[in-house]
Amino acid sequence: MTRRVLAAGHVNWDVTLRVDALPDPDGEARIESQHTAGGGSAANVAASLVGHDVDASILGSVGDDENGLLVRRELAEVGVDTDRLRVVDDGETSVKYLVVAASGQVMVLGNDGANEAVHPDDVDAGTVADVDHVHLTSQRPETAARLARLAADVDATVSFDPGRRLDSRDFSATIERADVLFLNGREAASVLGSEYANAPPTRGGLVVVKHGARGATVHKSTGSYEHPGFDVDAVDTTGAGDAFAAGFLAVVLGDAGINADRIERALEYANACGALAATSEGARTAPTRPEVEAFLEQRY
């Protein structure tokens, strides 16, 4: 059975600038290379899922400008269903400027543009009627919460990766309804406190904490699983977290929802996805299933 996943949230156009070092205030840096491509966490995950043999669609919004056309064309070319991608008349597609230093440090500049034009009233039962899983990323908290409720009504599972805006937005209603919650170490400390494994706040009780190059940990109420990650020559870690999330979901999603027996395999596979993504420039660099399997075979 082909799993059907709806990714909802930000859809951007990314401009990645590689510099020799991030400049100090009033300083200057030398641009060593420039790369443009589609971005946004929801779009990145959707595109990556297709590469893992998952039927993926995107819910988000772009402007009717040239960047929006490029975003839609790029997603369609890789096989993402864009029927739910809203095009805002006279809107400006959100553009993110990702400044990446040789050390791996990243600075993000951007405008919101048409990024959050999807309101709670714009989604209904039909939005999630034909999907098995909904992956939520940063967006209007009210929209995310409504999508999580609608998914529960049709017995679709939910994952949530709130991203950088977690500290400034109230996503508690969505977190409570999530089967899988993706966080980095800082976000985990903010949401869960120091004892991650004690009563995870999600419906499914599954919290995945990403540690970057140091791998990741999955916490359940009954225990935790760890994987140290893979040592690679990282070029650009932008989008590696999205590649990780897509890889984890591609393995852990079974015909009847979240398959707890696949957690350890999902963790290993997801870390391989993140590592491979970090070896290429840009946010939309997720590896495909054959590439990940070849990578793992070489490692063992």
Catalytically active residues are 242
Q: What does the alpha-carbon distance between residue 179 and residue 203 come to, in Å, rounded to a whole number?
A: 5
HSE-CB of 15 using CA atoms within 13 angstroms: 10
DSSP secondary structure letters along 52-75: TT-EEEEEEEEESSHHHHHHHHHH
**Cβ 104 vs Cβ 237: under 8 Å:** yes
Q: Rounded CA gap, 144 and 129, in Å?
A: 16
Among residues 192, 279, 184, 194, the alpha carbon closest in space to that of 231 is found at 279
Backbone φ and ψ of 15, nearest 5°: -115, 110
Phi-psi region of 106 (alpha: psi -120 to 50; beta: other; left: phi over 0): beta
Instruction: Provide the CB-side half-sphere exposure for 11 (13 A, CA).
Output: 33
